[in-house]
Amino acid sequence: MKLRTIVLLVLIFLAASVASGQALNLKMAMDAPRNSPWGQSLERMAAEWKRVSGGKINLTVYAGTQGSDAQIIQKMRFGLDIGVFASTGLALVYDDILALSIPSLVRDEAELRSVLKELDPSFRAGLADKGYSLVAYSYSGWVRMFSRRSVANPADLVGLKVAVMTGDTKISRMLQTVGAIPVQVDGQGFVGQIATGAIDAVLYSPALVQAQWSFLKTYIPYMTDFKVSPFIGAIIMNTRSCERIPAATRPLLVDAADKLSADMAREIDRLEEAAIRAMSADGMIVVKTTEADKDAWYESFVSNRDRFVAAMFSKDVVDAVDRVVRARSTP
């Protein structure tokens, strides 16, 4: 029997199974462990999807067991239905998402909502072109600069070796424009590279740094109080998996995911504040930034964005960034 015929029969069988009322089993993965706030939130999402679908959607969560973001994306091509990624992981599928990581483009949650509203159509279309549907955005607080020496403004980055994820060229180019030295690392190996002096700084969430603070405080004791960018990602599903879900059920699942994502955002804000307090009490030195420092970040990465943004992102995304910047400048 030809492969095309076999595939057609499988699709017909799956469609018939859903139409007949059989439960649909879906698999979701992320690289954070099950006992983390993110893993626990996804377990709640699985329970909520089963409830709102009347028991017709069974979602199995694989947290911290399927490898790196790159490995999860690879597995989504063959078996996994859904993946949960930070922006650096999403960039492996659609790198325009990294526009959200332009330092100082987004300064608070109100601006984050504004930016997402502008960029959402482009993001959804870009992911669809790659064969994925966006289920919900995932907000996880703010990226801060943790460093071996004090960093208050971009001038302090000159000569500093800053960790970036393997394969990330866009953040690397942004850092190079201010004289920093990007060093590519994987999600597991950067701690060892900090200890050897191969890395001087990381852009990371305080809630995640705290988990290894007893070790990291010896090497990167400084945290800049400036919010570099939102630590944001998304839940994405294979388009083929999405199409297996009855059309009437899809909005219920998206609504449930959105609500849980909002709950998670509030929890992460609380955890982030608690992490900063705990690390401050355990030797962390918080570098205070002045208004002049904040203006310098803005000038280096946003006002002068034509130096790199136009060449790095698609026109739709650049136009959306321009609208956000113009709105910020309007009294």
pLDDT at 11: 44
Residue 140 has pLDDT above 90, yes or no: no
For the segment 58-102, what is each residue's pLDDT rounded down to a tens digit?
999 998 888 888 889 999 988 899 999 988 888 889 988 888 888
State the chain's mean pLDDT as an integer: 86
pLDDT at 40: 85
Q: Are 304 and 296 in contact (CB under 8 A)?
A: no
What are the beta bridge partners of residue 285? 222
What are the beta bridge partners of residue 230? 142
For the segment 195-221, what is each residue's pLDDT rounded down to a tens digit?
899 999 999 889 889 989 999 999 999
pLDDT at 256: 94
Supply 146's token pair: 């943790």
Using pLDDT thresholds of 50, 70 and 90, give the confidence band for residue 5.
very low
Q: Are 255 and 29 in contact (CB under 8 A)?
A: no
Instruction: Give this prediction's pTM.
Output: 0.82
Residue 22 has pLDDT above 90, yes or no: no
User: Looking at the domain covering 3-329, what would its CATH class be?
Assistant: alpha beta
Please give the full DSSP string across 279-303, using - where no structure is assigned: HHTTT-EEE---HHHHHHHHIIIII
Q: Are 133 and 242 in contact (CB under 8 A)?
A: yes
- Residues contacting residue 53 through CB under 8 Å, at least 6 positions apart: 249, 252, 253
| Count of H-run helices and E-run strands, the chain | 14, 10
Q: Are 92 and 73 in contact (CB under 8 A)?
A: yes
